[in-house]
Structure 1
Amino acid sequence: MKNVTFYLDFVSPYAYLAFHALPQALEGCSYRMEYRPIVLGAVFKANAVPSPAQQPAKRDWIRRHTTWLAEQAGLTSFAPAVNHPFSSIPLSRMALACSEDGAINRYVANAVFAHCWEAGGADPLDLQRLEALRAVLHKQWQPTIQSVDDEAIKQRLRANTDAALATGLFGVPSFVVDGELLWGLDALPMLRARLLG
């Protein structure tokens, strides 16, 4: 069995699409998936590149492309947030409040991705919606965590981002298996091949 680290940022619609494509793409493979939220903005800054979603033409392309990809995948509930790109830090911290070591489980990842990309374009940072997400995650929440502003949560997010950068990561979704980095939604067949040897 291979260990795979899936580095993600909830702001990325491509990470959302990869998350939903994983079970089918890796069917029959023996692996253990570890989901680790990172700060994509920090990755862009470290690599001295601008965020594609902050460039109007690229942002429009990302919206059209990911909507088409979601339709092709049968993800009919996909709806890009009208305020994309949004700050995903509060969402990643909320997810990491459900973690002991910086990795989150599939249930938590799915809940946060759905909050961002399956809400008919609603603002993921709306306070009422954030409170509703917290209620969804309530049973997963670590008892030692008082709020998403706890230093332990901030440290987990920094540590995940630093670990991702140490692999040479430059975007999400990214997967690391046996120290090898694979990037992008279209890398899933390559990831499958890697797991199959």
Structure 2
Amino acid sequence: MKRVEFFFDFSSPFAYLASTQIEDLAARKGASLVYRPFLLGALFKAIGTPNVPLFAMPEPKQKLVRADLHRWADHWGVPFRFASRFPMNTVKPLRMVLAAPEDRVSALVAAVYRAYWALDRDISADEVLVDVATSVGLDGAALVAATADERMKQRLKDVTEQAERIGVCGAPSFLVDDLLFWGQDRLLFVEKALDGWRPKES
């Protein structure tokens, strides 16, 4: 069966935008969707990228990037506001995704993203995470408790190491077979790859 792996961190606004589209894209192409939560900051440190690339950009580029976020949100027809708490510590919500039942991961990811990038909530706070998870029918308290489990800690490290190993340089990133795509504006390429497209340079 065709599949696409979605590498993401809740700290990335562009990954939020991608999250609003990737599930429908995969379903449209008859592909399974595998969520790969990873620690973007740890990856940046490993590959030598500034911890917050946006802040390392010159002011004119920062303004255009922020404008692009709103333009893409308008294009996709999804709510967006730039978070007042940025960057955000996303370790707990990422571990929650890994601890969640597989059939509820999509709903949880969407709810956490919405809380942060549409509602401007503090997704590092336990009470917020409990509320967000409970809102999609999960045991929020149990999932927050699971973030302290050594197995969840190791799984997040493992996915982060996997991301580095396959060449991920940021979020969102998508893996279709051996083709890696970076950026929510590459969803067209993801769709083409699921149709069997292979670019000539590959």
TM-score range, shorter chain: 0.7 to 0.9
Deviations 1:71-119 (A, max 9, x none): 22211x212211111111122122222157xx97311211111121121
Aligned to 2:200: none
Q: Conserved in 2, the CA contact under 8 Å of 1:36 and 1:160?
A: yes
**In 2, Cα distance between equivalents of 1:85 and 1:128:** 19
Q: Does 1:65 align with 2:65?
A: no
Deviations 1:39-84 (A, max 9, x none): 0011111110102133373555443321221122211x21221111
**In 1, Cα distance between equivalents of 2:122 and 2:25:** 30
State the Cα distance separating 1:26 from its structure 2 match: 5.0
* Aligned residues between the structures: 193
RMSD over aligned Cα atoms: 2.7
Q: Conserved in 2, the CA contact under 8 Å of 1:34 and 1:104?
A: no
Q: Conserved in 2, the CA contact under 8 Å of 1:174 and 1:183?
A: yes
1:45 partner letter: K
Aligned to 2:172: 173
Q: Percent identity?
A: 32
Which segment drifts farther, 28-37 or 16-25?
Answer: 16-25
Aligned to 1:131: 130
**In 2, Cα distance between equivalents of 1:151 and 1:62:** 37
1:35 partner letter: Y
Structure 1, unaligned runs of 5 or more:
none
Structure (1/2) with the larger helix percentage: 2
**In 1, Cα distance between equivalents of 2:26 and 2:95:** 28
Q: Conserved in 2, the CA contact under 8 Å of 1:98 and 1:140?
A: no
State the Cα distance separating 1:165 from its structure 2 match: 1.0
Structure 2, unaligned runs of 5 or more:
197-202
Aligned to 2:2: 2
Distance 1:112 1:122, change over 3 A: closer
State the Cα distance separating 1:166 from its structure 2 match: 1.1
- TM-score where L is the length of structure 1: 0.85
